[in-house]
Amino acid sequence: MINNSKMQQEINQKNLIKGLPSEPGVYHFYDLNNKIIYIGKAKNLKKRVSSYFSKNHDNLKTKILVSKIVDLKYIIVETEIDALLLENNLIKKHQPKYNILLKDDKSYPWICIKKEEFPRVFQTRKVFKDGSEYYGPYMSTYVVNVLLNFFSEIFYDNGWTPFSYIGRENKPESKEKYLETISQIRKILKGDIKSVIIYLRNKMMVCAEKMEFENAQKIKEQLALLTNYQSKSSIVSSKISNVDVFSIVSDEKHAFVNFLKITNGAIIQSHTVEVKKKLSENNEDILMFAVADIREKFNSVSNYIYSSHKLTNIWEKISILVPIKGEKKKLIDLSLRNAKYMQLEKKKRLALNLVKQKHPLVLEKLKQDLHLKDMPVHIECFDNSNFQGTNPTASCVVFKNGVASKKDYRKYNIKTVTGPDDYASMEEIVFRRYSRLLNEKKKLPQLIVIDGGKGQLSSAIKSLKKLKIEGKIAIIGIAKRLEEIYFPNDSIPIYLDKRSLSLKIIQQLRNEAHRFAINHHRAKRSENNLSTSLDKILGIGPKTVEKLLQKFGSYENLMKSKIKDVESLIGHQKTQKIFNNK
């Protein structure tokens, strides 16, 4: 019975390949459910497809694939390169079970210079073939925002306000000057960001002299990011121009392909993709597939490709070289380092996942070190923030099973405290948090961590006493200076080993609570700044301010917004008053 079934399958498969043409094309294999399970390309369809059924395959996965094929369809194309591009697009569309897939589903930000009489410059996550210029992709939206903020300063310096720029109210006689500004921006986007760095350094020095240290620190972080971005755009060779560099490293289950874009002797782009292997694909086949995909993705028109592996050249007017020495080989080595770095990152992520699975061991250690009665599966940490007593806010972050549970985070505006009183603020937020949990009959945590020493801890305990839950929840305080751990009713702290997993998770909780509190505090200050800036304008009342606050969040965002967006919210007359009084 089994032999008859196998014979019938072989007859069916022979019938499938009988009428295949000896032309370039793309083929689809289907299973019993009429589902596409594999898509491939071929220089000669008949030869390639026949090879699946005319020999024994060493690879088990390939054997399984062949055993599931019950039907095939094909598309004839003109050339092998057409077959490669069509295969690439169809695999991305259908994602068959046995095909490799480039794991690059992130939507990275780009900066677009729009093809218009007066071109706009803006961030986008979609690239269209509309004649506009696209620069990127950038790995961080923060870099994009730093650059766009600087471009805004350039427009201001050249006489364009948000009203004229966003409203597109430019006069024909200003076109030449406007396009000069765009040329300056284009030069920066191509890698010459010295002017941005000089500008930010000067701005940082001014902030430092005014003792605006928070702003100075923020600019310093922007500088560090831009310096890192600039290092990727450094000159590699004045002799090498307009070249695409590709390399690949792989292991049993994954391959990593790196792409470097060289323009005018400088690296202006670096991009790495992860490929999950499905059958017995070799590096050359994977790299060929990736080259086609990446060149299409980045609209590459380079006529030269440097590759770490020998590839069959099916592109017209394109030269493919495998460098063996000199500056060209150094580029391949650099590309390989980037690919290996991503491979290493993958291994680290897998290791981190294993650590996450072992979190109960960490919690067991925490239970031992803090002498807790229960396993601290649910931990909550509190911190508060204010600036010279203004806009006091606080945060509560939640960890479950040793991992941050961000959906359970809570932020607070302090309501009952006047002036900079951290102790009273802590007492208020702890009371509000647990009175609510008790009213809603929700589970209480096994451990509370307070960011602060004896004073803040004592304030939190007052609230637990009022709620009659003192002693039902373990509570500790952590003081920043020496990382002392304080317990209720004990004036002498304990010190955990600096390398201890227990201390690390407590620090992680404390740092996360601090970050969350600071972010909320800054947002609150921005809201107040908006209210303060608009309250001075005659005809702009509290209700209007509230509408603008909900929509734009800050005065700065309002000023950068489109005029029509503001008008649709509060009307033409009030919008004119705001922008005429800025």
Query: Does residue 360 form part of some domain?
Result: no
Query: What tens digit of pLDDT does each residue of 77-118 get?
Result: 888 877 887 887 788 788 898 887 776 545 668 888 988 888
Looking at per-residue confidence, does 172 or 98 come out higher?
A: 98
**518 and 372 both lie in a single domain:** yes
Short-list 422, 272, 401, CA closest to 335: 272
Quickly state the pLDDT bin for 582 (edges 50, 70, 90).
low
**369 and 495 both lie in a single domain:** yes
**369 and 490 both lie in a single domain:** yes
Short-list 392, 396, 389, 346, CA closest to 510: 396
**381 and 420 both lie in a single domain:** yes
**380 and 500 both lie in a single domain:** yes
Q: Select from 231, 263, 278 the last residue of a domain.
A: 231
Query: What tens digit of pLDDT does each residue of 380-389 get?
Result: 999 887 544 4
**76 and 12 both lie in a single domain:** yes
> CA 204, 206, 208, 212: dihedral to nearest 10 degrees?
-100
Query: Does residue 566 form part of some domain?
Result: yes
Query: Does residue 238 form part of some domain?
Result: no
Mean pLDDT of 351-376: 77
3-class DSSP state of 306: strand
Q: Hey, how many other C-beta atoms are within 10 angstroms of the C-beta on 303? A: 13
Q: Select from 231, 253, 269 the last residue of a domain.
A: 231
Q: Select from 325, 354, 383 the last residue of a domain.
A: 354
**411 and 507 both lie in a single domain:** yes
pLDDT given at position 235: 46
Short-list 295, 252, 336, 364, CA closest to 84: 295
Tell me, yes or no, if the pTM score tops 0.75. Answer: no
**299 and 327 both lie in a single domain:** yes
pLDDT given at position 212: 82
- Which pair of structure tokens corresponds to residue 188? 């920066």
Task: Print the domain residue range for 550.
Answer: 536-580
**126 and 189 both lie in a single domain:** yes
For residue 79, what is the domain's CATH number?
A: 3.40.1440.10
- C-alpha distances in Å from residue 210, one per residue of 218, 496, 576: 15, 40, 33
pLDDT(170) > 60: no
**263 and 221 both lie in a single domain:** no
pLDDT given at position 387: 47
- Distance, in Å, from the CA atom of 390 to the CA atom of 367, rounded to the nearest integer, reads 38
**139 and 182 both lie in a single domain:** yes
**150 and 289 both lie in a single domain:** no
pLDDT given at position 9: 56
- Distance, in Å, from the CA atom of 490 to the CA atom of 429, rounded to the nearest integer, reads 23
Query: Does residue 105 form part of some domain?
Result: no
- Distance, in Å, from the CA atom of 578 to the CA atom of 280, rounded to the nearest integer, reads 65
Number of domains the chain contains:
5
Query: Does residue 104 form part of some domain?
Result: no
Tell me the average pLDDT of the chain.
Answer: 79
Query: Does residue 436 form part of some domain?
Result: yes
Sheet holding 266-276, edge to edge: 101-103, 266-276, 254-263, 243-250, 304-307, 319-321
Query: Does residue 359 form part of some domain?
Result: no
pLDDT given at position 21: 87
Query: Does residue 237 form part of some domain?
Result: no
